[in-house]
Chain A
Amino acid sequence: MESALQGSITKNLPERLLRFFARYPPQKYSALVRPQPDPETTPKADSSTLPSPYTANRDAKGFQREDPRAPSASRSLLWSDPNSPNPFLPVKVGERWQGARIGLRRQADLVKMAKKYGVEALLPPGRKSTEFKETRLAEKGLTIKGTGIGQKVKGHRWERTMETRLEDRRKAMMEMPETIRMWKQRGHGRGWKKWPKR
């Protein structure tokens, strides 16, 4: 079925995409043949699985991944078979990194073209793919700081300190009858020692 599908597609594809697919056959390179990531080990960019960005704790530093060096959800999408290196990704040769065979500009062109003809899934996984961009966006949020999953907006000082202030007030009001009783007992302030500081 796949070959039949490919046959119908290849007729309409532009020359540039055909050349690409001839050089990097989808059977070997495309995102479709990428091994499915283990759902147990790889983190998800799904908002329901991550902790809420809102926390009642004022000192919280926001969401931290358990192991910051572990591959993130978007990172794990960029897969390269060691035997046939992904042309969209850099390759480590010995100690040094070799740049991607196809640069980001050409990748973007190819992805745009493939999207137009509905064959984006046949391209190798890369940073320009819709899949990667969507995952990345979910991870990092918009360009507005603090709107991503697991991040939180800093807010104004009065917002951040609201909880503790209300707590202080609540405590003070709980103790108020006792305070007033003490104050009356000590001669309406004559024997009072704990004056507030300005």
Chain B
Amino acid sequence: MAKKSKSRTVAVRLISMAMTGYYRTMIRPRTHRPLSMLKYDPVVKKQVLFLEATKGGRAK
């Protein structure tokens, strides 16, 4: 039986760099570079940097 193929996209978690524990989940193409963007963090009520969390701690 053929191995189940991986999906083209992955769901990733973007963690607020304000260390509030707030995060957003996004979907990106598997081959894309890790996501990072400025987004609003409702805990500190400011726009802060969100970085993609690497699963298992390995950066791409």
A residues whose Cβ falls under 8 Å from a Cβ of B: 165, 168-169, 171-173, 176, 179-180, 183, 188-190, 192-193, 195-198
Known: A180-B38, A195-B52, A195-B59. A189 touches B33 (CB 8 A): yes
Nearest Cβ in chain A — how far from B29, in angstroms?
Answer: 15
In the A-B complex, the 7 residue pairs with the smallest Cβ-Cβ separation, listed nearest first, are A189-B36, A198-B53, A172-B19, A195-B59, A197-B57, A168-B19, A195-B54
Binding site for A on B (CB under 8 A): 13, 15, 17-20, 33-38, 43-44, 46, 48-49, 51-57, 59
SS class, residues of chain B in contact with chain A: mixed
Complex CA–CA separation, A191 to B51 (angstroms): 13
B54: chain A residues within 8 A (beta carbon)? 195-198
User: Which chain B positions have C-beta within 8 A of A169?
Assistant: 18-20, 43-44
Q: Is there an interface contact between A195 and B53, defined as CB atoms closer than 8 Å?
A: yes
- Inter-chain contact A198/B48, CB cutoff 8 Å: no
State in angstroms the CA–CA spacing of A198 and B59 once bound together: 11
Partner of A192, one of B15, B20, B51, B55: B51
- 25 CB contacts below 8 A, A to B, read A169-B19, A169-B43, A172-B17, A172-B19, A173-B44, A176-B17, A176-B18, A176-B48, A176-B49, A180-B49, A188-B37, A189-B33, A189-B51, A190-B33, A192-B36, A193-B59, A195-B34, A195-B51, A195-B54, A196-B54, A197-B53, A198-B13, A198-B15, A198-B56, A198-B57
A168 neighbours in B (Cβ, 8 Å): 19
B4 to chain A, nearest CB (A): 23
Q: A169-B18, A197-B54 are in contact. List 16 more A-B contacts (CB 8 A).
A: A168-B19, A169-B20, A169-B43, A176-B46, A176-B49, A179-B49, A180-B38, A180-B49, A183-B49, A192-B36, A193-B59, A195-B34, A195-B59, A197-B57, A198-B15, A198-B54
Report Cα–Cα, A189/B49, bound state, in Å: 10
